[in-house]
Amino acid sequence: MGRVVIDVMPKPEILDPQGKAVVGALPRLGFDVFTSVRQGKRFELEVEGDVTPEVLAQARRAAETLLSNPVIEDVVSVREADTAEVQA
Q: Is 70 in the site for its own copies (CB under 8 A)?
A: no
Among 3, 1, 2, 4, CA closest to 75: 4
Q: For its own copies, which residue of 33, 53, 71, 83 counts as binding (CB under 8 A)?
A: 33
Cα separation of 79 and 6, whole Å?
A: 7
Q: For its own copies, which residue of 15, 17, 53, 84 counts as binding (CB under 8 A)?
A: 84
Q: Is 67 in the site for its own copies (CB under 8 A)?
A: yes
Indicate the residue type of 46.
Answer: E
Q: Is 44 in the site for its own copies (CB under 8 A)?
A: yes
